[in-house]
Amino acid sequence: MPGSRIELRLGELSHVELLKIATAGCEASAKVKNVADDILAAHKPLPQWAVDGVLFDPDLLKLVLAPLELKDGAAAAVCSDWAAGWKATSDGRALRPLRQVPFDGLPPELQGSNPLPNITADEQFLYVADDHDLKRLTHDGTLVATYTRPVGDGYPPFWRWSGIVCGGGLLFCVLSDPDYANDEIIALDAQTGQPRYKFGLGVLDNPHGLAVAGEELFVCDTFNDCLQVFSLAGEHRRSITGDWERPGALCFVKDRLYLVELTYDGTDRVPDPRCGARIIVLSLQGDILQEYYMNDNPVDGLRLCYFDGKLLATANGSEFGGNNFVGKYEDVSVMALAGACA
């Protein structure tokens, strides 16, 4: 039986009238809403899928923040403590070990190439560059267009395509003179090959590999032992250092950076014995998440490319000193690492 006058009067109302009063009370008072939530929880608990798939999900952060499409570190701004906790517990989660797998999808354009040209790929095309030309190919190797490197005012006379990567409808390439005195990045239209702008002068010292992650370009700044990060418009944003040196090759796959160090950087420095022998898996903040040792003997000049659902590590066959990598195409060795794409 109702224990008060208000309860007695409410008990005489219809369900529709009670619903209007309850809704108005919840909207007018947070305290009333909390009481209503407690009552609802007791009468209608969460479905099991929500308990197992959300509350107990180890990747709760992605479920909450992913729909917000946060970029440029905005997730950390939402809650710095949450971000720190995520970082502390993320090592090893959803990160499978790299492993060698067979790979037979190398386009004919690359088979038998020695030295191996620079390559990059997007969802539609492969871009293959040698000393003079940059070729745009379909994934089966059909030639679509050929771009000749820009020459003349503002360009070193002997520069070569290097470290190419595509993103935002642009191709980014390293632009270096023979003395590495005026290193820059050049952005070209991916459809026409026409130069758009250059940037990085005075920041970079002997750059090599490039990677586009979201709206940012990561550049291997070899002599400075760091990664330089630019916006796609060429604005320098930050430098990243870590327990690695001589960064020479870089690739971005599903929120991870894959880095290979050079065994030789043109100086008299004695290299770390790990240089050229491992692929380092990095977060976008530069934290080492995993190390994959490829070979007992360090390999110089290794290049990385994400193609056909695999991370490819490529180099001239003569540099391996044996059949250590999966997939032989005359003078070119290819290793496909499926774990990188898990």
Residue 332 has pLDDT above 90, yes or no: no
Residue 282 has pLDDT above 70, yes or no: yes
* % residues pLDDT > 90 (the chain): 18
pLDDT tens-place string over residues 150-186: 777 777 766 777 788 999 889 999 887 666 667 899 9
Looking at residue 296, its pLDDT comes to 67
- Tallying the residues shown for the chain, one arrives at 342
d(CA 269, CA 246): 10
Residues 122, 153: contact at Cβ < 8 Å? Answer: no
d(CA 173, CA 127): 11
For residue 200, the tally of other CB atoms under 10 A from its CB is 21
Structure tokens at 341: 């794409």
Look up residue 270 and give its DSSP letter: P
Average pLDDT of the segment spanning 240-264: 90
d(CA 264, CA 261): 9
Residue 289 has pLDDT above 60, yes or no: yes
Helix residue ranges, H only, 197-241: none
Helix or strand (DSSP H, E) at 208: strand 207-213
Candidates 208, 290, 223; CA nearest to 256 is 290
Q: Which CATH architecture has domain 100-341?
A: 6 Propeller (2.120)
Pairing assessment for the beta strands 256-261 and 236-240 based on DSSP bridges: unpaired
pLDDT tens-place string over residues 57-99: 655 555 565 655 555 555 555 566 665 665 555 544 445 677 7
Taking the CA atoms of residue 124, residue 228, residue 175 and residue 169 in that order, the dihedral angle to the nearest 10 degrees is 30
Residues 284, 337: contact at Cβ < 8 Å? Answer: no
Looking at residue 34, its pLDDT comes to 78
Looking at residue 126, its pLDDT comes to 85
Pairing assessment for the beta strands 143-148 and 133-138 based on DSSP bridges: antiparallel
Residue 237 binned pLDDT confidence (cut-offs 50, 70, 90): very high
Average pLDDT of the segment spanning 216-228: 94
d(CA 50, CA 57): 9
Query: What is the SS3 assignment for 108?
Result: coil
Domain residue spans in the chain?
Answer: 1-45, 100-341
Residue 222 has pLDDT above 80, yes or no: yes
What b/e string do you get for 189-198 counting C-beta neighbours within 10 Å, with b at 16 or more? Answer: ebeebebeee
Candidates 342, 339, 291; CA nearest to 97 is 339
Q: Which of 39-48, 52-61, 127-136 has the highest mean pLDDT?
A: 127-136
Residue 33, φ and ψ in degrees, nearest 5: -60, -40
